[in-house]
Chains A and B, each alone.
Chain A
Amino acid sequence: MILKVNGLEFTYHERPVLKNIGFELKKGQIMAVLGVNGAGKTTLLKCLNRILRLRMGTVFLDEENVKDMSRNHIAKHFAYVPQKYEEEPLTVFDAILLGRRPYIKWEATSHDLRIVEAILYRLDIEYLALRPTNQLSGGEMQKVIIARALAQEPEVLLLDEPTSNLDLKNQLQVMQLVTKAVREHNMAAIVSMHDINLAFRFVDHFLMLREGRVHLLAPREEVTAQDIEKVYGVKVILGDVDQYKIVIPVNENSEGAL
């Protein structure tokens, strides 16, 4: 499986949001999409599985043009985890079972139920199965939403800032869960993120957006302090602690910095 994006453009109310975006992603790879608020991260994710209508450019999954796929067909190949969710309180089991919607003809089969059950165990949330989703903590809910995406059995997982509202432990757990799922299911994942340190820790490929354009598309090792400064407008130094690469903003007496 290979995802190829070419010349993707998106305009929102006459205002160009994405300009000439292109990249490739193979299965087993995770790509982080980084950029300031409003850089177009969410828009990019939503264009890939046609939550937003694509105006210009192409998205190919292997030989198939996403533009020509039916919505249901797309839902079997792409799963999307939104940044915000305000859901009606289903039980956790039902909420994950909803991920089987693209496959369900009339009613969920025992096969569907088994898949949901397996995912519950895999994400260690089986104890939540019959709890209503409005009684979950933020971290638990995020896992349920990811579990639903996994129930779609996608080839490409799109996650919009999955760690933004979580505490440190849950951030690590969710990212571990995503990397593990990608590895085991041989999927590809695109994750929009704000936390560069978290991205450095878990993600191999970086796509940095600046004013709707690709500023940098490179493996983690090639990201420099200058790139981060360009994209975020903040002076930083890159350091190494243990085996982890970390980013530290440095104080500067100009207005633009901290």
Chain B
Amino acid sequence: MSHLEKPTSADHSEALKNRDTSISDLYQESIRKKIFLFGVLFLFLLVLIVYAIAVGYYDMSLPGIIKTLLGFGDGSGNIVIWNIRMPRIVAAIVTGCALGLSGVAMQSLLRNPLASPFTLGVSHGAAFGAAFSIVFLGAGMTAGSTIRMTGVEGLMLKNVYMVTLCAFLGAMIATAVILLLARLKKMSPESIILAGVAMSSLFTSGTILIQYFASEVEIASVVFWTFGDVTRSSWPEIGLLTMVTFAVIVYFVFVRWDLNAVSAGEDTARSLGLDVDRFRLYGMLLAALAASLATALHGVIAFLGLLAPHIGRRLIGADHRFLIPYSCLIGALLLLLADTAGRLIVGSGTLPVGVLTSFMGAPLFLYLLIRGLKR
């Protein structure tokens, strides 16, 4: 039906001809602005990365950093950058990406602006699963082989796949409960979050209970789970997280139009040709997967998955074609910023980044509640 293409009244097409720019042009200009802003934020992330590499106990000069990154560094420079700072930086970036992505997907799929892995209890479920596998299934921790500055940071997972799997299963329990409640009861967004609160405290209690069965080394790590920390993983683990996160990003980029459709309402999405129930199930599974792996490796990082999409919406609106990459990038930026700040505030470098994201996220959460969830 190409008849839609020609405007009805003659003066309209005339008006269109006489104007310098058509609506499509204006629209495409607004799109270019969003891409440009993304580039600016990305540059900012790059600067932050270089800064995060440079600062710390062992001060490094910019030429020194560049040399080391290119593979011509000296011994101590190599160790500081490749074994200490870079893993932490990359871990922060990928974890931030995973949580921001998971948050934006959950908010859209559940049509709930308060949704995120943290507020729905998905992160806590993952932490519980990870702790369970470490203490009971022998996936536990050993003193790390890599050179680290402090004892606790030197812990490494013996069996990262087992921990990941159990974290995913724990996250799945929480996700399944949320999905069931959302589907069966048609609960309000606030009620869903209350269910999330109930589950987080249940899982947290479970995690604490597990500590009674754990050895000292295990306890040290499990305790850290209550507040996320990006210093605990080494390259192979970070590599796994990166691959999974990337795969999930690719999926959600593919279905960006479907996320827009779901955000417009269930009936609308169905009439636009989307199988809403199936999409919601798959989407929530994958969102939970990304969040659970990030949590398995780095603990419960509060509110980041809530924060990143909302900042994204403020910047460029709710179009998921842009909101997905923006949420990933903002999540990465925020977590690296928080981690670097935490590193500088507390000299020893052990202030868990989850504490700082809590300070950023809790006020936003309260603000969203007070504003009354208006879309």
Contact = CB atoms under 8 A, between A and B. Distances in A.
Contacts of B200: none
Contacts of A113: 24, 27-28
Nearest to B256: A107
Contact of A130 (B30, B267, B268, B275): B30
Contacts of B13: 121
A86 B112 CA distance: 11
A79 B273 CA distance: 10
A84 B265 CA distance: 9
Contacts of B235: none
Contacts of B263: 87-88
B318 A115 contact: no
Interface string A73-94: 1111011101011111111011
B23 A93 contact: yes
B272 interface: yes
A227 interface: no
B256 to A, nearest CB: 9
B265 A86 contact: yes
Contacts, number: 128
A84 B266 CA distance: 11
Interface string B1-27: 101111110001100100000111011
B110 to A, nearest CB: 12
Contacts of B267: 46, 51, 80, 82
Contacts of A110: 24
Given A89-B375, A129-B27, A150-B4, A79 B318 contact: no
B274 interface: yes
Contact of B257 (A73, A104, A153, A184): A104
B271 interface: yes
B272 A99 contact: yes
A72 interface: yes
B375 A88 contact: yes
A80 B267 CA distance: 8
A71 B260 contact: no
A73 B273 CA distance: 7
A87 B264 contact: yes
B7 A122 contact: yes
Contact of A94 (B3, B23, B319): B319
Interface in B265-284: 265, 267-268, 270-275
B264 A184 contact: no
B39 interface: no
Nearest to A134: B375
A104 B273 CA distance: 11
A2 B22 CA distance: 37
B23 A184 contact: no
B261 A101 contact: yes
A104 B319 CA distance: 15
A85 B264 contact: yes
Interface in A104-121: 104, 110, 113-115, 117-121
B26 A130 contact: yes
A139 interface: no
A169 B114 CA distance: 37
B265 A101 contact: no
A118 B271 contact: no
B24 A88 contact: no
Given A118-B6, A122-B7, A150-B4, A90 B273 contact: no
Contact of A184 (B8, B26, B111, B275): B8
A75 B271 contact: yes
B7 A90 contact: no
A210 B200 CA distance: 49
A149 to B, nearest CB: 8
Given A101-B272, A117-B23, 18 more contacts: A49-B270, A51-B267, A51-B271, A73-B273, A75-B271, A88-B260, A88-B318, A89-B375, A91-B30, A98-B257, A101-B260, A101-B273, A102-B273, A104-B257, A119-B4, A122-B8, A180-B8, A185-B1
Interface of A: 46, 49-51, 70-76, 78-80, 82, 84-91, 93-95, 98-99, 101-102, 104, 110, 113-115, 117-122, 126, 129-130, 132, 134, 150-153, 158, 180, 184-185
- Ranked nearest first, the 7 interchain pairs of A and B with the lowest CB-CB distance are A75-B273, A80-B271, A88-B318, A72-B273, A88-B263, A121-B7, A102-B273
12 contacts: A51-B271, A87-B265, A88-B260, A98-B272, A101-B272, A102-B273, A115-B5, A117-B24, A118-B5, A120-B23, A151-B4, A185-B3
